[in-house]
Structure 1
Amino acid sequence: MRRLKDFPTGAVLSVVTGRLVSENHIEGVYEVLNWMTGESLFTHQLPRVGREAEPVILALHPELAQAKEEAEQVNGDNWRDWLAKWKDRYGDMISVPRMTIAEHERTDPLSELSEKVHPDRIVALKMEGRDG
């Protein structure tokens, strides 16, 4: 049986639709995707991991596929009203599963970044008192 965890509806819909409708903004997306992957993702990884997570969430909640279509109309002025409709339909929280090794490709964040940005532009900092 897959492990599930509940997250705010807006955060889950942000992952499914690609539209930021999370009430705690991008932090909600990080929370969902970090939990689903068991990783601490970097910003540049969110689009790829979101694409991996979408079918996993939709397999558990196929009714959320409708949100993807409806989200095309969402903008900075109406996102709260749109989210309120979805919360009325499905509640304040939606459960999501952990992703399996077959569903998520673990990639070193700096290696992945170097595929997008020339390595001369990457500066890795080691913070005192922090692991990694």
Structure 2
Amino acid sequence: MTTKEFPTRDVLSTITGVLMGEIGGVYQVLNWMTGESVYTHQIPRISREAQPVIIALHPELAPAIAEAENVTQDNYTTWRDTWEDRYGLTIAVPKMTIAEHERIDPLSELAEKVSPDRIAARSAVRSAQ
């Protein structure tokens, strides 16, 4: 199994849905796990896919998922520090297999969430300029 070390705060942000650092860290974790360039609207779905994969490798992280319900804007640094003390500063993350991750075209997935006429593809925006 191929793994890569990521900051604990980014891994826990990914599996708990509570941002404990910069959003760029979540992108890095998910991009690595999927081998794709993840779009913002894909983060919730792919994080749900990633959670059991990471927990299977690190079952000791499971309590953090329940604990994340107690995290607020006022106490997140205390929780972040608690988790980093408990789990260390980095956590090894595996790549997801085809059975663990459903590859969906980002624009198609976005079209399922919003009206297609509200989607501005990069090439269309550039050609309009």
Q: If the length of structure 1 is used for normalisation, what is the TM-score?
A: 0.91
Q: Which residue of 2 aligns with 1:59?
A: 56
Unmatched segments (≥5 aa) in structure 2: none
Unmatched segments (≥5 aa) in structure 1: none
The CA deviation at 1:93 is 0.2
Mapped to 2, the partners of 1:34 and 1:41 lie a distance apart of 6
Q: If the length of structure 2 is used for normalisation, what is the TM-score?
A: 0.93
What's the RMSD between the two structures over aligned residues?
A: 1.1
Mapped to 1, the partners of 2:97 and 2:25 lie a distance apart of 21
Number of residues of Structure 1 aligned to a counterpart in Structure 2: 125
* % identity of equivalent residues: 63
Q: Say yes or no: does 1:28 pair with 2:25.
A: yes
Mapped to 1, the partners of 2:2 and 2:44 lie a distance apart of 23
- Summarize deviations over 1:67-125 as a string: whole Å, max 9, x none: 01111110111111111111111110001100000000011000000000111111112
Q: Say yes or no: does 1:13 pair with 2:8.
A: no
Runs of 4+ residues over 2 Å off in structure 1? none
* Matched ranges for 1:39-50 at <5 A: 39-50=36-47
Q: Say yes or no: does 1:125 pair with 2:112.
A: no
Q: Which residue of 2 aligns with 1:101?
A: 98
